[in-house]
Copies of this chain bind each other. A is one copy, B any other.
Amino acid sequence: MPRIAVIGGTGAVGNVTLRLLRERGHHDVRVFASARSAGREIEGLTVEEATPDALAAAGVDVALFSVGTSASRELVPHAVRGGAVAIDKSSAYRLEPGIPLVVPEVNGGRALEHDGIVANPNCCTIPLTCALKPLHDAVGLARVRVSTYQSVSGAGAKRMEELRAEPVDDHDLRMDWTWDGDETDEESKIRAEARKILELPDLPISATTVRVPVLVGHAESVWIETEEPLSAGQATELLAHAPGVRLVEVPSPGAAAQTDQVLVGRIREDRAAERNGLVLFLACDNLVKGAALNAIQIAELVLSRVAA
């Protein structure tokens, strides 16, 4: 039975991580969080304080981190020092050379090349690469454009409570990210991470990221140009057999909530493209496949090597 630690277990993603671990039969689990939450009970477990020494001494095989980027930078090395493989959901290590950035259905083999840390991608990059990978393998990606519809749970449990408390008349779209030049840092993350995961360092890709007043579930409107021609029917056939993907007529966050799959639909030819253009729409549960589930799938890949 693998020993697993969840760090940041009291947050929106941490909660889902603990539930999914239980549902997938992982029962040797310890949960860590900040001093403020230490002593609380969650999913029948007592929260321990996530100090460097506690993590180094935890004696676990895998440490799943769902904390902010600066906390990850501080704590992850100590879990690794203690012998754990750290699966980190923050952006701290995603683009670091030599650290695998993994979506199991897309580049699962890379998870086994770790040196103690595997990074979990951004919640928009995960479903996007699940949809792009089978198309790229078949005909090559030439360029990608994405508009996102991201739920507030991506900004944390506190923002969910704020949306619940806000009068519906005040519900608005927001772009609540940090600027990175003329883009949001979310937009530059999607580009850089998709390039790394797909191993296409020069893929032309641009995103516009938008927060919508939905609690759970991210959606993306995607324009794709491919190197070789691919009809909408052929793309549909490829995606029907793509791991982690489920075809539906109209994907929506509500339909994706609590499911493991990336919902893909509205696949059609792009009438605006000069050549080889496709349009599609996708949705996934940003807390499940967009975060907690993807990290657990990475952990299971890593543990399967330990067991073998």
Contacts and interface: CB of A to CB of B under 8 A. Distances in A.
Interface of A: 143-145, 147, 149, 163-164, 168-175, 182-183, 191, 204-206, 208, 210, 212-215, 217, 219, 221, 223, 232, 250, 252-255, 266, 268-274, 277, 279, 281, 283
A214 B213 contact: yes
A85 to B, nearest CB: 34
A271 B205 contact: yes
A224 B215 CA distance: 31
Contacts of A172: 214, 217, 252-255
B145 A268 contact: no
Contacts of A274: 143, 204
A185 B219 CA distance: 21
A215 B168 contact: yes
A218 to B, nearest CB: 10
B149 A173 contact: yes
A183 B266 CA distance: 8
5 contacts: A143-B274, A164-B169, A172-B253, A172-B255, A206-B271
Copies of this chain, tallied across the complex: 2
A268 to B, nearest CB: 4
Contacts of A219: 173, 210
A255 B173 CA distance: 10
A220 to B, nearest CB: 9
B174 A252 contact: yes
Given A171-B214, A173-B283, A213-B213, 19 more contacts: A143-B272, A145-B145, A145-B272, A149-B149, A168-B213, A169-B215, A172-B214, A172-B253, A173-B212, A173-B219, A204-B271, A204-B272, A206-B223, A206-B277, A208-B266, A210-B219, A212-B212, A212-B213, A213-B214
Contacts of A254: 170, 172-173
